[in-house]
Structure 1
Amino acid sequence: MFPGPDDDPFRCFAAWLAEAEESEPNDPNAMALATVDADGLPSVRMVLLKGADPSGFVFYTNLDSRKGGELAGNPQAALLFHWKSRRRQIRAEGAVTPVTEEEADAYFASRARPSQIGAWASKQSQALESRYALERAVAAETARFGVSKVPRPPHWSGFRLSPSRIEFWQDGKFRLHDRAQYTRDGEGWSYTRLYP
């Protein structure tokens, strides 16, 4: 089904994601996240979507990482989901805000313990002198927490991109693709078909 003017873009997104979960071999929730630095230079990397609803798309990271710093300086971003097995993609652009402390705590508590330890051990995006230094840091944090609960680090949280624009793209023969753009219009959305 290709989204139409009377469809809700988040319901369409959920339907496409569900179909991708049936066919993508790895990480159907993977998305490219684009941010910009203080000089306007763009940077893009793959992250995992951890929540999506009408308020936006949620992902988590080390706040001291490059993307964390860039989002603190310019809280605007763009996302791209590309599902090669479905020959589809979805783009979203908009303002980014931090998730609540409660949301971050709940998601962190749901992570596997080694991932929780890793959030404490990794100085994400900083220079690493050797793989051994990372393994040593993981061992130190593992020993520090022992068998006790691992709390969420103060430098680790999430962001929500609230889209002002969402575009759906579906491959067509002879490059005559289907494209539809939803643009935020007050509390609702306006719909535009785009040339491929």
Structure 2
Amino acid sequence: MERDLHEPDPHRPDPRRPDRHDPDLHELLRSLRVWDPAVTELPDFDPAAAPAEPLALFTAWFAQAVAAGQVEPHTMSLATADAEGLPDVRTVMLHGADASGWSFATHVDSRKGRQLTARPYAALGFYWPTQGRQVRVRGPVTAAPAQEGQADLHARSTGALAAALTGRQSQVLGSLEELARTSESAWERAQREPDAPVPTWTLYQLRPDEVEFFQGDARRRHVRLNYRRTADGWGKELLWP
């Protein structure tokens, strides 16, 4: 009996479906759960007891994330926009937070450095899944004095200095061999000159206009407390989840 030409051949893979040995992205996504009660114990958050300014709450939450064993709690998403207004985002390290703002560093001639020159406004996003918490910060960005940027760099590890000395961030790379040669030379100099200057290295400070604290809830009754800067200081408001 001949097979109908419109009937799929059971012995030939269907090009419209992934191979059975390949992972199915949608199935993987549907299988995942957020804040499984058997794994994650979400803390309580009473916004009525929150301090008057966001920095104090951020410091407390950051310390609690460290105590809870959150991996790399100092990493954050940095969102910027280019000269045409198109968004961009990447993960960077928090270098500090004080009355002047939240600080991070990069080369002024890197992609994000150029974007901040064109549009000096940014947003930061922290996510600490061990406690179901997020913190969102946004506001204008300014560059700290050059000596502060160099001091910040030289207070970090040899590897951080070597990476900064390697430079050319975001530029097109010819080959991995070229990167290896340049990086090796930078490591040698960083070890030989721990105070080697990197003129393009810049410390940026984001002075927040808004800071939102998000506490996840297993029943999706998430608590969102938003601080908004006003002429008289900070105002607080709750947001629907």
Q: What's the CA shift for 1:25? A: 4.2
Q: What's the CA shift for 1:80? A: 0.6
Cα distance in 2 for partners of 1:6, 1:51 equals: 20
> Highest CA radius of gyration, 1 or 2?
2
- CA gap 1:2/1:138 in 2 versus in 1, 3 angstroms: same
Matched, 1:183 2:205: no
Structure 1, unaligned stretches of length 5 or more? none
User: How many pairs align?
Assistant: 196
Q: Which of 163, 167, 170 pairs up with 1:125?
A: 170
Corresponding residue of 2:94 = 49
Structure 2, unaligned stretches of length 5 or more? 1-44
Corresponding residue of 2:198 = 153
Q: Which of 76, 80, 90 pairs up with 2:121?
A: 76
- CA gap 1:84/1:145 in 2 versus in 1, 3 angstroms: closer
Tell me the TM-score normalized by structure 1.
0.92
Tell me the TM-score normalized by structure 2.
0.76
Moved over 6 A (4+): none
Conserved 8 A contact 2:150-2:198: no
Letter in 2 for 1:76: Y
- CA gap 1:146/1:11 in 2 versus in 1, 3 angstroms: closer
Corresponding residue of 2:210 = 165
Q: State the SS of the aligned residue for 1:140.
A: helix
Cα distance in 2 for partners of 1:83, 1:14 equals: 13
Cα displacement string for residues 14-49 of structure 1 (whole angstroms, at most 9, x for unaligned residues):
000001112244210111000001111100100110
Cα displacement string for residues 61-118 of structure 1 (whole angstroms, at most 9, x for unaligned residues):
1111110000000000011111011100010110000012232122111122232122
For CA contacts below 8 A with separation 6 or more, give which structure has more relative contact order. 1
Q: What's the CA shift for 1:158? A: 1.1
Cα distance in 2 for partners of 1:190, 1:43 equals: 29
Q: What's the CA shift for 1:139? A: 2.6
